[in-house]
Chain A
């Protein structure tokens, strides 16, 4: 949508590690994630359930539940300051004001005991210092913008009086009401039906164009990625296994896991998008991540080396990196050949 500006990333995450102490043992949910987010860019994060997409973003917002969670390591440079090391009061000034977040589940992300109006005005009163009436006006404006009809009257309603899609719109209105520089949207459309999904994505794209907001969009849906993202991180078992522009992701992907994801993409003649579940085998038990390459047990092209050494994320070209020992030309060609014909492959 807007061109990325690689010279001055707005957000720069380096070597983020997050773990949870559970009954099952220590879960390393995020194991060394690094990425940059440019101004006005939309960065997609894809990967199967449990790959650490949400945890990565929760860590950036400073809302990992502690205990059991812990940020073990990492930096997240936002506008010259490390989000992970700053004081609580500084972080408070950034959250909701400069970085807004839309949570994964709209049914539980709103406070059931407060009206939508109270929940919306809370943000603008705190960050923009609006008076109660100004905040109400602003809240109604925001609701109108996300397509909720007769917004003035709905301010007094409680979340249970809204449908899932409407709640998600309220969440979006809330996250955007202070016009943040970064919007983190964690599967903003997963809980919604297809038409509302489309409307909400359109809404995000429109807002982005109007305000130049950077967006981190977590999704299971590669169709969505193709439609709205500039760049994509593919995550597996707490790591980034491939990072590419949207064009490269579809045309020149290098990691076997990415290939698997693409092959599980619903075909064009079916208009339904389904969850990515077509790769053989299960995502690893995060308490017992396999040694070497964590994708190895499910990888169709695993070699001996993959059992012992964990492949680092290696730069393959501008804006393209992959974490696989197979990044020789032959593997690339094979992968490319497979990817070119996913829609004709099984008929």
Chain B
């Protein structure tokens, strides 16, 4: 437990440092690309633009802006007003959209784990069987087919041909099924392959022979002596998988008309919405950091030889 506390404190320190770096890099990058929030289709009269700049603190020297904005974030948790969404603060946008995107991502991941692990286990245990072949073929397809193509296919199949699910929208469980499936499918496929490879690897270890020689049932050997070791590569993969699911959801939200962060992300970048873009970048950084910490801790829980760094 003391390990864990020390680890949490160290990780937190690293996270703050990372956030600071991400903040700085984003700040510099956003301001160094050509254009600004007010240089779009409509030209704003100079007087009004001056007023706007003053309102958003954009007339201050950049170094000033850099610190003012940072201080607002640190002391008040205030990410400022959106530059391109009238009367919306970044915090409001995040509060509305982020839970939606996060639940979609969680559903996608849970689905991927729930499907990928059993498929990998069965494939490994029945290696070379029809079940193994068909599941591994499905896994190759799952990895190869882009999620927007998969989305078109499942919409065609389960909305139009076999109307089981609604085509779009958000709020009911039925509406989550298809996008979560499309989001989770490539991850499930990858997890299935990692699980299968991990199982086969552990199955060839000598301690598994010991387990059989103790008179344990096949089931007990597989579940207690093989599966945990086979999960190590899967656990490692969950960090990158989370990142994948989060970006994947940006596309799928568009297809399934889900009011998450997806459209904001794209708009914020295209329209130079400095504050909204910064808010999202920082939020996703925290999220990935948390996920990777959970991955590290799970890894150390499964494998006692690993010490948390």
CB distance from A157 to the nearest CB of B (A): 9
Q: Which residue of A lies closest to B305 (CB)?
A: A160
Query: What CA separation (Å) do A122 and B215 show in the bound complex?
Result: 10
Convert B207-227 into 0s and 1s, putting 1 for each residue whose CB lies closer than 8 angstroms to a CB of A.
Answer: 101111111111010001100
Are A110 and B207 in contact, with the CB atoms below 8 A?
Answer: yes
Query: What CA separation (Å) do A103 and B229 show in the bound complex?
Result: 21
Query: What CA separation (Å) do A126 and B228 show in the bound complex?
Result: 20
Instruction: Tell me the dominant secondary structure on chain B's binding face.
Output: helix
Query: What CA separation (Å) do A174 and B213 show in the bound complex?
Result: 11
Convert A82-121 into 0s and 1s, putting 1 for each residue whose CB lies closer than 8 angstroms to a CB of B.
Answer: 0000001000111111001101010011111110000000
Contact with A105, one of B206, B213, B220, B228 (Cβ below 8 angstroms): B206
Query: What CA separation (Å) do A123 and B221 show in the bound complex?
Result: 12
CB distance from B44 to the nearest CB of A (A): 64
Query: What CA separation (Å) do A288 and B225 show in the bound complex?
Result: 37
Are A61 and B213 in contact, with the CB atoms below 8 A?
Answer: yes
Q: Determine if A65 is an interface residue (Cβ-Cβ < 8 Å).
A: yes
Are A92 and B215 in contact, with the CB atoms below 8 A?
Answer: yes
Contact with B210, one of A62, A65, A111, A126 (Cβ below 8 angstroms): A111
CB distance from B115 to the nearest CB of A (A): 24
Are A158 and B304 in contact, with the CB atoms below 8 A?
Answer: yes
Are B210 and A110 in contact, with the CB atoms below 8 A?
Answer: yes
Are A160 and B304 in contact, with the CB atoms below 8 A?
Answer: yes
Contact with B225, one of A95, A111, A158, A174 (Cβ below 8 angstroms): A111
CB distance from A11 to the nearest CB of B (A): 16
Q: Considering the complex, which residues of chain A in the window 154-208 have a beta carbon less than 8 Å from any beta carbon of chain B?
A: 158, 160, 171, 174
Are B305 and A95 in contact, with the CB atoms below 8 A?
Answer: no
CB distance from B1 to the nearest CB of A (A): 14
Are B210 and A92 in contact, with the CB atoms below 8 A?
Answer: no
Q: Considering the complex, which residues of chain B in the window 127-178 have a beta carbon less than 8 Å from any beta carbon of chain A?
A: none
**With A88-B218, A112-B305, A160-B305 given, is the CB distance from A96 to B206 under 8 Å?**
no
Chain A neighbourhood of B302, CB < 8 A: 113
What number of B residues sit within 8 Å (CB to CB) of A? 23
Are B303 and A112 in contact, with the CB atoms below 8 A?
Answer: yes
Convert B245-256 into 0s and 1s, putting 1 for each residue whose CB lies closer than 8 angstroms to a CB of A.
Answer: 000000000000
A-B contact count (CB 8 A): 75
Query: What CA separation (Å) do A112 and B211 show in the bound complex?
Result: 12
Are A113 and B210 in contact, with the CB atoms below 8 A?
Answer: no
Q: Determine if B55 is an interface residue (Cβ-Cβ < 8 Å).
A: no
Query: What CA separation (Å) do A31 and B303 show in the bound complex?
Result: 41
Q: Determine if A127 is an interface residue (Cβ-Cβ < 8 Å).
A: yes
Chain B neighbourhood of A158, CB < 8 A: 304-305
Chain B neighbourhood of A111, CB < 8 A: 207, 210-211, 225
Are A94 and B215 in contact, with the CB atoms below 8 A?
Answer: yes
Q: Considering the complex, which residues of chain A in the window 36-52 have a beta carbon less than 8 Å from any beta carbon of chain B?
A: none
Convert B46-65 into 0s and 1s, putting 1 for each residue whose CB lies closer than 8 angstroms to a CB of A.
Answer: 00000000000000000000
Q: Which residue of B lies closest to A120 (CB)?
A: B214
Are B215 and A63 in contact, with the CB atoms below 8 A?
Answer: no
CB distance from A290 to the nearest CB of B (A): 31
Chain A neighbourhood of B229, CB < 8 A: 112-113
Chain A neighbourhood of B224, CB < 8 A: 114, 122
Are A95 and B210 in contact, with the CB atoms below 8 A?
Answer: no
Chain B neighbourhood of A174, CB < 8 A: 210, 214
CB distance from A196 to the nearest CB of B (A): 20
Query: What CA separation (Å) do A175 and B247 show in the bound complex?
Result: 52
Q: Determine if B204 is an interface residue (Cβ-Cβ < 8 Å).
A: yes
Chain B neighbourhood of A113, CB < 8 A: 228-229, 302-304
CB distance from A332 to the nearest CB of B (A): 40
**With A95-B214, A126-B216 given, is the CB distance from A65 to B204 under 8 Å?**
yes
CB distance from A142 to the nearest CB of B (A): 13
Are B215 and A108 in contact, with the CB atoms below 8 A?
Answer: no
Chain B neighbourhood of A97, CB < 8 A: 215
Query: What CA separation (Å) do A158 and B304 show in the bound complex?
Result: 7
Query: What CA separation (Å) do A167 and B284 show in the bound complex?
Result: 46
Q: Determine if B3 is an interface residue (Cβ-Cβ < 8 Å).
A: no
Q: Determine if B76 is an interface residue (Cβ-Cβ < 8 Å).
A: no
Chain A neighbourhood of B209, CB < 8 A: 58, 63, 65, 103, 109
Are A62 and B212 in contact, with the CB atoms below 8 A?
Answer: yes
**With A65-B204, A112-B303, A113-B304 given, is the CB distance from A123 to B214 under 8 Å?**
yes
Are B215 and A123 in contact, with the CB atoms below 8 A?
Answer: yes
Are B205 and A108 in contact, with the CB atoms below 8 A?
Answer: yes
Query: What CA separation (Å) do A103 and B211 show in the bound complex?
Result: 11
Q: Which 4 residue pairs across A and B have the least CB separation, nearest first?
A: A96-B215, A96-B214, A95-B215, A108-B206
Using CB atoms and an 8 Å cutoff, list the residues of chain A in contact with chain B. Answer: 58, 61-63, 65, 88, 92-97, 100-101, 103, 105, 108-114, 122-123, 126-127, 158, 160, 171, 174
Query: Can you pick out 16 interface pairs between chain A and chain B where the beta carbons lie within 8 Å of each other?
Result: A63-B212, A88-B218, A94-B215, A97-B215, A109-B206, A109-B207, A109-B209, A110-B207, A111-B210, A111-B211, A112-B207, A112-B229, A113-B302, A114-B224, A114-B225, A171-B210
